[in-house]
Amino acid sequence: MVSLFIGKILITNNKDCDEVDTESELSQRLDNKVMLLYFGSGECTRCQEFSPVLKDFFVRLTDEFYVERASQLVLVYVSQDETEEKQEKFLKTMPKRWLFLPFQDEFKRELELRFAVSNTPVVVVLKPSGEVIAGNAVEEIRCLGTACFKNWQEAAELVDRSFLLAEDFDDLAKRSITDPIRRLKYKLDKKTRKKKEKEEVLCPDMEL
């Protein structure tokens, strides 16, 4: 997946429009994830109907309000907007986790040709390898909602990486800090017990 965007710039749809352009950054954002390429625009009537559906679909799979851990899903918006201003206006209504290509990037045209995009909206679903899972998943998303992600996940053979929760890290940190103290206390207690046992052997209690 990363190879598709090597040498390109992806922009995060947040307030600062953070750029994702180095290989390591691209790898962190794209590796081991199902990728959605959304070809659409804010002016297209069909896109106006579908975009809120896609937004809800994406949010329900990635937002902490709905899920404990975000699904292995990434979306790149490939703008078909007429102007950069229209693109910006549309993206302001979309999730901040979306990525998009710079408006002037000609690579958008290459992607259109590669995936035979003619009429929007189009959602191309890709495996981490870049292999196509679905040429256009618009109707699948409409009909199945978030349930279709499980099918994509299985098709993509994603590695399910389980991470420790924050409290687990806190607990681990506490144990790391206190371990030397607990080990020392254990050694002292053990030494005290041995000394006491030795004294009891040498000086057993006398019966009255």
- For the stretch 68-77, pLDDT in tens is 999 999 999 9
Q: What is the mean pLDDT of the chain?
A: 85
Residue 141 confidence class, pLDDT cut points 50, 70, 90: very high
| pLDDT tens-digit map of 187-196 | 455 555 555 5
Say if residue 182's pLDDT is above 60. Answer: no
* Res. 178 pLDDT band, cuts 50 70 90: very low
Q: Where are the alpha helices (DSSP H) in 45-165?
A: 45-62, 84-91, 107-114, 138-144, 147-156
The pLDDT-based confidence of 162 (bands split at 50, 70, 90) is low
Please check the confidence at residue 204 and state whether its pLDDT lies above 90. no
Q: What is the mean pLDDT of residues 144-158?
A: 96
Record the pTM.
0.77
What distance in Å separates the CA atoms of residue 181 and residue 183, rounded to the nearest whole number? 5
Give the model confidence (pLDDT) of 54-113 as tens digits.
Answer: 999 999 999 999 999 999 999 999 999 999 999 999 999 999 999 999 999 999 999 999
Measure the CA angle with vertex 76, ends 103 and 130; round to 5°: 120
Task: Judge whether 116 and 135 are in contact, CB under 8 Å.
Answer: yes
Give the tens place of pLDDT for each residue, 3-54. 999 999 999 999 999 999 999 999 999 999 999 999 999 999 999 999 999 9
Query: What is the residue whose two structure tokens read 């329900």?
Result: 60
Does residue 1 surpass a pLDDT of 80?
Answer: no
List, in order of start, the domains of the chain with CATH numbers: 2-163 (3.40.30.10)
